Structure 1
Amino acid sequence: MTQTEDRTAPDSTTVAEPAEQQSDLELVEAAIEALTGVLPVALSPTQGIAAARRLVGTVVRQPRALTRRGVDLTAQLARVAVGTSGIEPDRKDGRFKDPAWQENPVYKRLGQSYLAWNRAVLGVVDDLELDEKSKLRAQFLLRLLTEAVAPTNTLLGNPAALRRARETRGRSLVDGARHALHDIKANGGMPSMVDSRPFVIGETIAATPGKVVWSNEIAELIQYEPTTPQVHARPMLVLPPQINKYYVLDLAPGRSMVEHLVSHGHQVFMLSWANPTSADAAWDYDSYARTALEASDVVRDITGSPDMNMLGVCAGGITGAGLLGHLATAGDDRFASVTFLVTLIDFEVPSQVGTFISGPVVAAAGRKSRSDGVLSGRELARVFAWLRPNDLVWNYWVNNYLMGKNPPAFDVLAWNADAVDLPAGLHGDFMDMAQSNALTHPGELRVLGTAVDLGRVTADAYVVGAVTDHICPWRACYPTVDLLGGDVQFVLSSQGHIQALINPSGNPKGSYRTTDPVPEGAAAPSADEWLEQATEHQGSWWDHWVEWLEPRSGPKRKAKKTLGSTAHPATLDAPGSYVRGGHA
């Protein structure tokens, strides 16, 4: 299995490198995290005005913060003017990597002045006595402003773009204008993040061999071909997030979780969700839970195993949690173990998405999706891009328009651009669950007519958080340890929301932390206590997970040569039709 080398992401000073040399950490950090969040809501205009008004009012009532930062800024700007300032950009800030920002006295002073002002503005919010949600909202609004006016976003303020224009005799500006016109026509005016042309579903991505063995209007079930002479008797059913196409888990050869599982003798079944239309607005949480339940019956028929393991990812994990609660109440133990990957179950822990949850916003967002029938994945991507404007907007603005370069060709970003919609019913249920934090309160959530208590779920669990995940913070994933009733192994992966998923075995730059599992019935330590006790390991948590699954996957038996069964024959080749936009 190949491992990509960490390199710098495309920015205002470098040419985008070939896909095989792109770095997950640099290219994907936060770019996919927001889109895969389970709460598709954002700061509304009303919220924005209210947040701004609250910020101004607080500054008036607490003038010392503004005065102190103003005095510090004045002193810093004086040092900048005489050339004695030591202010420098963050080492991860690619905007100021061009040598001119250090060697040219004009650009050096311009850059330092901007950085000093930026830090002073955001520092005022840090100094104010605001509640957590108000502070996060204020920081969000101010970052929109401060990142928009960065000098690197303009031609004259970007020495690398000016030099490239000279070197190409203006060709880069012509190409930049052409890219801008294309994005106005085809991308809603947003700069394109990726060149998707090299990535073909079923060939270069989503390429692990398998067959569709069952489908309904909501999902296709894919069974993957075994690659080992023997397979574990207990299969694995995977519930991917409904807000994305499943193949982030089967991204490309050498970077596929499915491929990794199959190579270790696991029988893998994957649900591939249909892309809903406005006619499917009624599909709700129960609809998806029922589909997963029906799929598990198919898995039992095909494999002959009475039980199986479950893997739930992000929003798919939330669906799986409710289904497990329903089955526990019914005394149905068809799932012998469950793995939750970057799954946000406790919404009380502060997070970027949680910042925008309020009764009026939830109601307004629900009315919008019900009116349209679906929440548009493309529109959602635009909304969430502005949650990280420097990474997701201005970075590509500079690369595509000022530098005149093509956006990078990278498989993860191509997957990210392959957006899907969310049915109004499921969208509304997710938002209601988040606002009420229903999964953490026994009996409050009803799934398929049954009151859910996650404490009655006694299957062994493996819970993965990601240390730099801003959408599903690991501290919000961690409470799952206490919510479930069985033995729980919590693992903290390095990197972020998507990098934790695409984490090939043998990754020399990856790491993860573990402690001993929390035994059934025992009280778990707090998240911070857990972190203090945890041991760091180099490599990928994939390898640790496979070891954990080994005793929970049953004995080995000879692999069947054919997929499916008499009742559920194999039909289409993987990845099936739904991932290509097909619909029942």
Structure 2
Amino acid sequence: MRDKPAAGTLPEPANLVTAEEGSNPGLRGRDMLSTLRALALQGLKQPVHSTRHALALGGQLGRVLLGDAPYQHSAQDARFQDPTWRLNPLYRRGLQSYLAWQKQLTAWIDESDLAADDQARARFIVTLLGDALSPSNGLINPLALKEMFNTGGLSLIHGLRHLAGDLLHNGGMPSQVSKAAFEVGRNIATTPGAVVFRTELLELIQYKPMSEQQYQQPLLIVPPQINKYYIFDLSPEKSFVQYALKNGLQVFMVSWRNPDIRHRECGLSHYVEALKEALDACRAITGSKAVNLAGACAGGLTIAALQGHLQAKRQLRKVASASYLVSMLDSRVESPAALFVTEQTLEAAKLRSYRNGVLDGRDLAKVFAWMRSNDLVWTYWVNNYLLGRQPPAFDILYWNSDNTRLPAALHGDFLDLFKHNPLIRSGGLEICGTPIDLRKVTVDSFSVAGSNDHITPWDTVYRSTLLLGGNRRFLLSNSGHIQSILNPPGNPKANYLENSKLSSDPRAWYFDAQQQIGSWWPAWLDWIQARSGGQRKTLKTLGNQAHPPMEAAPGTYVHSS
């Protein structure tokens, strides 16, 4: 499933990077051409089947030309909301012909002799082609014609200017956000704090308290390595950081460095070692023996690897609890991109990364944009080029476009995780020289998934939760990948499912789950406060003698590009 944008709105991005995303080798043109060749060959192998569907399409097009309108597009499909598509005879026939072609081509694939995986690959490619060939993507789009008339042709000039700018500065992809509207540290990522610790791979930010009393055991938030940390600290009303601070938690944040070719050999063990040092800095600054960890996406994978390493070293007492937000530890996932993954594509992806020294987040963003091309490519094509409008000034979209890179070694480790799925086996993964067994990680855990998450599907996050030892709690939010995290109280549409009995079958869990109205943040807050020790008078000073404040938040690493 995927999030459905309201008519006339630009969709939510979906580009928080997980181990699955970081491990994705990308959709190669040769693989798509291979699928198209297989389709053409299938048409020759089944001439009767193909002829039957061609005749059926001809009959449907004949009905359309006579004025019949047998097909209805989705009510959530914003491309055809303009009444011209229904009321104008030419536009109505054009839309009906397009829908008839899509329907018959899908039926031809579904009823062919292709294997199930080949059919899935074919449907994915046909969907990409169908989105690209939509009549709404051309200058005949009634919205584009109206805008051209209303602006005296200026919309076309503005659109050409936007197209030229994106070809030169955005890799040929339509811009999703007006970047001039935001500045990190000025109107986003503004919560007061200071960098109190720095390594080659991360900065540790400690935030100023916002409550009179604070809990003894701090919270350390670990974002994914390929996006900037401030998804947790956008505007004050969306800030997960400020929500925790106002409710008495001591909050620390990891800000990963944007690596370059010098960090080519930095793999998952290097990141775990850096996180271990940050954990010890949190303990030293707060005087607490244990720290609560929270990781999102690949950050969740990283805190799981850290705990497995600490358990092997008999140091797991340093962790009080672990929260996993849309995090995937079990890499068994069904997605269109996974259908194109072979041994050859995985090795080719590794080779490209090592040749360049890094995997550029912008390249990865392109792959996942094309996986939802109607929402994340063609919507902006129409807005920016056909209507000549500026992309929206939206903080989440700005964060989404602020990509970083992955070191080649870390990208290779993610590819191996995707290929071998080692965390489902005891000792299947080795980190910092120690074997990892998540069953022995007996730390209490709190996991959140999104029911509409197309990047880390909720059932995969659920299976990942089952890999952990200790007391486990799992919630299913009624949202997508990003909104599963940015889900503050007060959202009238927010709700989640919970079932305290974690069965081995996600479907059985879902069937017996109870719906809870509202955000999951308050439920998590009660859970984390119960694992944060007693309360004391708030300590206003940041850092300590060994870890003095170096500079004000948001620090240096977040500004690197």
Same fold (TM > 0.5): yes
Aligned counterpart in structure 2 of residue 284 of structure 1, from 262, 267, 271: 267
TM-superposed CA distance for 1:76, in Å, is 2.9
| Match in the other structure for 1:22 | none
Please state if 1:151 is matched with 2:130. Answer: no
Aligned counterpart in structure 1 of residue 122 of structure 2, from 116, 138, 153: 138
| Match in the other structure for 1:205 | 188
TM-superposed CA distance for 1:67, in Å, is 5.4
| Match in the other structure for 1:359 | 343
d(CA) in 1 for partners of 2:27 and 2:382? 25
TM-superposed CA distance for 1:8, in Å, is 4.1
**Closer, same or farther in 2 for the Cα pair 1:315/1:168, shift >3 Å?**
same
d(CA) in 1 for partners of 2:521 and 2:532? 15
| Match in the other structure for 2:396 | 412
Q: Deviations over 1:395-435 (max 9, x none)?
A: 11111111111111110111111111111010000001110
Aligned pairs for 1:190-339 within 5 A: 190-333=173-316, 334-339=318-323
Where does the alignment leave 5 or more consecutive residues of structure 1 unmatched? 1-5, 11-25, 519-523
Aligned counterpart in structure 2 of residue 346 of structure 1, from 322, 330, 336: 330
| Match in the other structure for 1:19 | none
TM-superposed CA distance for 1:91, in Å, is 1.2
Aligned pairs for 1:490-501 within 5 A: 490-501=474-485
Between 28-37 and 539-548, report the one with greater CA deviation. 28-37
d(CA) in 1 for partners of 2:544 and 2:84? 66
Please state if 1:568 is matched with 2:551. Answer: no
TM-superposed CA distance for 1:517, in Å, is 5.2
**Closer, same or farther in 2 for the Cα pair 1:243/1:237, shift >3 Å?**
same
Aligned pairs for 1:79-94 within 5 A: 79-94=63-78
| Match in the other structure for 2:103 | 119
Q: Does the 8 Å CA contact 1:211/1:222 hold for their aligned counterparts?
A: yes
TM-superposed CA distance for 1:123, in Å, is 3.4
**Closer, same or farther in 2 for the Cα pair 1:570/1:8, shift >3 Å?**
farther
| Match in the other structure for 1:177 | 160
d(CA) in 2 for partners of 1:189 and 1:500? 30
| Match in the other structure for 2:526 | 547
TM-superposed CA distance for 1:65, in Å, is 6.1
**Closer, same or farther in 2 for the Cα pair 1:555/1:48, shift >3 Å?**
same
d(CA) in 2 for partners of 1:127 and 1:343? 37
d(CA) in 2 for partners of 1:64 and 1:251? 58
d(CA) in 2 for partners of 1:324 and 1:564? 24
Q: Does the 8 Å CA contact 1:37/1:314 hold for their aligned counterparts?
A: no
d(CA) in 2 for partners of 1:269 and 1:131? 50
Between 411-420 and 321-330, report the one with greater CA deviation. 321-330
| Match in the other structure for 1:21 | none
Q: Does the 8 Å CA contact 2:206/2:543 hold for their aligned counterparts?
A: yes
d(CA) in 1 for partners of 2:32 and 2:41? 14
d(CA) in 1 for partners of 2:47 and 2:521? 51
TM-score normalised by the chain length of structure 1 = 0.91
Amino acid at match of 2:436: V
**Closer, same or farther in 2 for the Cα pair 1:64/1:489, shift >3 Å?**
farther
Please state if 1:393 is matched with 2:377. Answer: yes
Q: Does the 8 Å CA contact 2:13/2:397 hold for their aligned counterparts?
A: no
d(CA) in 1 for partners of 2:403 and 2:40? 38
Amino acid at match of 1:389: S
**Closer, same or farther in 2 for the Cα pair 1:440/1:550, shift >3 Å?**
same
**Closer, same or farther in 2 for the Cα pair 1:198/1:314, shift >3 Å?**
same
Amino acid at match of 2:530: P
Q: Does the 8 Å CA contact 2:159/2:387 hold for their aligned counterparts?
A: yes
d(CA) in 2 for partners of 1:496 and 1:36? 16
d(CA) in 2 for partners of 1:204 and 1:50? 47
d(CA) in 1 for partners of 2:113 and 2:422? 30
Where does the alignment leave 5 or more consecutive residues of structure 2 unmatched? none
d(CA) in 1 for partners of 2:313 and 2:15? 40
**Closer, same or farther in 2 for the Cα pair 1:280/1:238, shift >3 Å?**
same
Amino acid at match of 2:180: R
d(CA) in 2 for partners of 1:255 and 1:65? 54
TM-superposed CA distance for 1:139, in Å, is 2.2
Q: Does the 8 Å CA contact 2:496/2:517 hold for their aligned counterparts?
A: yes
d(CA) in 1 for partners of 2:183 and 2:19? 21
TM-superposed CA distance for 1:7, in Å, is 5.4
TM-superposed CA distance for 1:171, in Å, is 1.0
Aligned counterpart in structure 2 of residue 480 of structure 1, from 442, 454, 464: 464
**Closer, same or farther in 2 for the Cα pair 1:64/1:477, shift >3 Å?**
farther
Aligned counterpart in structure 2 of residue 383 of structure 1, from 352, 367, 373: 367
Q: Does the 8 Å CA contact 2:20/2:328 hold for their aligned counterparts?
A: no
Aligned pairs for 1:33-48 within 5 A: 37-48=21-32
TM-superposed CA distance for 1:221, in Å, is 0.3
Q: Deviations over 1:153-197 (max 9, x none)?
A: 1102x0111111111111111111111111122112221111011
Q: Deviations over 1:239-283 (max 9, x none)?
A: 110011111111221011111111111111111000001111111
| Match in the other structure for 1:106 | 90
d(CA) in 1 for partners of 2:166 and 2:272? 38
Q: Does the 8 Å CA contact 1:213/1:568 hold for their aligned counterparts?
A: yes
Q: Does the 8 Å CA contact 1:439/1:454 hold for their aligned counterparts?
A: yes
Paired residues in the alignment total 556
Identical-pair percentage: 43
d(CA) in 2 for partners of 1:97 and 1:444? 51
| Match in the other structure for 2:559 | 580
